[in-house]
Amino acid sequence: MIKKILLGMTLLMAMVSCTEDYTDWSKPQVNAEPKAVEFGNGSVTPVDVIDLANVTEEKIQVASIVAPTSSDASYTPSFKINLGNKTFDIDNDGKMATADLASYIAETYGKRPVEHDIDATLDAWISNGSTVVKMATSETFQIKAIPEAPFIDAAYYLVGDVTGWQLNNDFKFNHSDADVYDDPVFTLIFTTESDNQCWKIIPQGNVDLGNIWAVENDPKGVVGIEKDGDEALTGSLLTTNSEGNKAGAGKIAKAGMYQMTINMMDYTYTIKEIYPEYYLVGALQGWDPEAKSCLMTAESLMVHKFTTKWTGDANLKIWLGSDFGGDWKNAFGSAKGDGVTTTEGSLKTNGDAIVCPEKDAYYTFTADFSTMTYKWTKLDNQNPTEFEYVGLIGVGGKWNEGDDIDLTQVAPHNWYKANVKIPDGGFKIRADHKWRDDGNWGFDADQNYESKGTLICSGGSTSIPVPAGTYNIYFNDITGDYGFIEVK
């Protein structure tokens, strides 16, 4: 039996007498000399270990209380319980709100379902119906409790038709450095090249056992969905279906590029088709969810970058083109915490603002969505050539002076113009309405057209063969990076 800890019932405050004409507790009053109230000893005894996963009642008993006695029958005792620097209601039977206990444990220790020893004290109060006075505080005692949470493994992997139903580390879900019970969200961006691709999710435990199917139909086993072959892009994850059998496989009906997010605290998943355009939002464009002016240019399908002088508070987040202007929870941010300055870090959806390590300096910001990481690289040249104008020349075969279509500088050395109609035929980009050696950009002779890439700065460059259409135009005059995003 857990040792009883006696309440120290030394009188802390004298009882204040109440007169019959007392009306307002908040108003100062003058009272007669208070009389001492005699108390006998009380006690508090904690209960056995509390497993919140097995608690269904709104109130949970955390201790047994023997109330102090009083020589004055008109006074009744009441109690408060102190956990750390927080105080909660507790009744005379030693029961407190289950939600209060669960919330305190989660905030103080996290949500991992392990036993915690929680230091507690009990305050004893007495009241005659009008006046309440704290009389004493107990010595410290311990409540032992386990928070409620599902099993969450250290890592997860997508397997299925896209991996040949074999383990492939390229399909490991990304996760922040936080404890999985503090951050239960895992994210994977991947591409399927065929329709009707089935999938399941493998926990790290199975990988460690050397057989990805070692544990199934078990809370720590392979994760899937209720109905085999279900094409739903959102839903519940489970390890055992409603009939008691192992979970079914989901299906992605259409080939494409997808982001899959799983939340293992509530065992849910979301799959959405994405388009490989990523935009910066932040100080550069005033955090305007309508200003789609800062396109990251692509080193590859999964690696995107942006070079500029990072002004203002130098904060940013990233939005996929398919999410732009929507729910901020879908934006990518830092997993390290808001305002943390670091040269590299981890990305996560609904993350905090990412901050350039050095304000008012030229850096390239690179985000790798295959590893969900980012890095900052400082430019050697901190004084790049400034141009008054940068624009398109040759659109529709117009190459004469005065035919330039000027772009707008939306961030230092980054130029943009929306809804530009491009007819058949090529064009080039030049600075200050001139054919200057350091401001004349086009394609290399054997360069193939892609919607995002890099131009060369050379008088020998060729025209840019953009297909006819309407485009949002993006260009960086330091790197030569471009983006021609067709408006559909």
pLDDT of residue 35: 32
- Compute the Cα dihedral for 187, 191, 196, 198 and give only its sign: negative
pLDDT at 27 over 60: no
Two domains, one topology: 278-378 and 390-486:
yes
Q: In this predicted model, what pLDDT tens digit does every residue of 122-160 receive, in sequence order? A: 888 877 666 777 777 888 899 999 998 999 999 999 999
* pLDDT band, residue 72 (cuts 50/70/90): low
* pLDDT band, residue 339 (cuts 50/70/90): low
Number of neighbouring beta carbons within 10 Å of residue 42: 21
Strand partners, 110: none
| Mean pLDDT score of the chain | 86
pLDDT of residue 74: 64
- Rounded to whole angstroms, the Cα distance separating 42 from 67 reads 5
CATH architecture of the domain 156-273 equals Sandwich (2.60)
Mean pLDDT (whole number) for 379-399: 97
Whole-angstrom Cα Rg for the chain: 33
pLDDT of residue 367: 95
* pLDDT band, residue 326 (cuts 50/70/90): confident
CATH architecture of the domain 5-146 equals Sandwich (2.60)
Q: Which two tokens stand for residue 106?
A: 């989660």
pLDDT of residue 236: 95
Least confident of 108-122, 273-287, 370-384, 411-425: 273-287
- Can you tell me which residue has the tokens 């020349």? 393
Asked if residues 217 and 245 have their Cβ atoms less than 8 Å apart, the reply is: yes
Least confident of 17-31, 243-257, 265-279: 17-31
pLDDT of residue 33: 36
Q: Which two tokens stand for residue 469?
A: 């259409």
pLDDT of residue 9: 36
pLDDT of residue 378: 97
pLDDT at 229 over 90: yes
pLDDT of residue 4: 38
In the chain, domain spans = 5-146, 156-273, 278-378, 390-486
Mean pLDDT (whole number) for 206-219: 97
pLDDT of residue 70: 64
CATH 1.10.10.10 fits 278-378, yes or no: no
pLDDT at 11 over 60: no
- Rounded to whole angstroms, the Cα distance separating 356 from 362 reads 10
pLDDT at 291 over 90: no
pLDDT of residue 13: 33
CATH of range 390-486; options 3.30.420.40, 3.30.300.30, 3.40.50.2000, 2.60.40.3620: 2.60.40.3620
Q: In this predicted model, what pLDDT tens digit does every residue of 91-116 receive, in sequence order? A: 999 999 999 999 999 899 988 899 99
